[in-house]
Amino acid sequence: MKRAVLLLALSLPLTPATSRFDAIPTQRKFDLIEQGRIPPGTQLTFEERELNTYLQKKAKEVIPNGLREPHVTLANGRVTGKALVDFVKMRHAQGEDLNWLMSSLLKGEYPIRVEGRVESSNGNARVDLDVVQVGGASLKGRALDLLIRTFVLPLYPNAKVGSPFELGYNVDRIELKQGAAQVTMATNKQQ
């Protein structure tokens, strides 16, 4: 019996935490980063499943109507996000109305899929979008710019797509790996 338990234990995949902070709840990790309480050089791992749980909760707080079932999938340097979005309800939740034409065109709930690449180092990052689909139709150019200006920037005015931005909070880099995001704190204080 002892041998069976030992063999079972040895066959389980062991993925040790990269830091003592990895076992704490996601919101607490974010809070500690924002408060500057993570030691320089520390690596924190955010597992995909924990990020999705956090995302589900946060989405209800930030956009109580108009966004359902947000989900991210992480791979090497890439992220794919999916959700069900009702743009009209989402805009109303922000306390804004859409003009008649936009309301007519965007009425109803649509599946959204966004794929992109994330690169970061030395306290800076860049997010480039490769695919943006709304209801199966791909968006590019002006249509995509309008979508970002109308629905993303009102919620996140500092969001940047396709250009470098500072990570802040003394974060050196964020590396996306299969099923996880690893945040590395800078070894020297960054401005």
SS3 of the chain = CHHHHHHHHHHCCCCCCCCCCCCCCHHHHHHHHHCCCCCCCCEEEEEHHHHHHHHHHHHHHHCCCCEEEEEEEEECCEEEEEEEEEHHHHHHHCCCCCCHHHHHHHCCEEEEEEEEEEEEECCEEEEEEEEEEECCEECCHHHHHHHHHHHHCCCCCCCCCCCCEECCCCEEEEEEECCEEEEEECCCCCC
pLDDT at residue 124, as a whole number: 97
* % of the chain at pLDDT higher than 90: 58
- Closest C-alpha among 109, 132, 124, 126 to residue 160: 126
Mean pLDDT score, 99-123: 92
First to last CA, the chain: 58
pTM of the predicted structure, to 2 decimals: 0.81
Any bridge partners for residue 75, and if so which?
78
User: Could you report the per-residue pLDDT of 136-184, keeping only the tens digit for each?
Assistant: 899 998 988 888 888 888 878 888 999 999 999 999 999 999 999 999 9
Q: What is the pLDDT of residue 10?
A: 43
Averaged pLDDT for residues 71-90: 95
> Residue 95: which pLDDT band, with cuts at 50, 70 and 90?
confident
Domain ranges of the chain: 16-185
Band of pLDDT at residue 186, cut at 50, 70 and 90: very high
